[in-house]
Structure 1
């Protein structure tokens, strides 16, 4: 009976592997900057600051909830 459960698992793993390997091999090999060029500047503006602010707000909410639960 164990062979019947092993066969679908192996078949699905094979299909999943083939589906993920094909797009990875189709990428062109001529990308990226030329050697010696300075790296591109990455702007850290609205998105990163909003993410940081929401993380701080969530942490404060959790601390407030924990203090209320102790009382």
Structure 2
């Protein structure tokens, strides 16, 4: 009878601890990083590359 009481007590404690773990609030979401967006930087680099490449091609043909 003593071992059965220990098993019941352990089961009850396990269930209570699991309820406590589920009751915790979610952490707040992280803040966005500061600075400019990446979209404009990619557009600027690509446009500069097209401009530079076309200038090189036109100067080579002359």
Q: Could you say which TM-score interval applies, normalised by the shorter chain?
A: 0.3 to 0.5
Q: TM-score scaled by structure 2?
A: 0.43
Q: TM-score scaled by structure 1?
A: 0.38
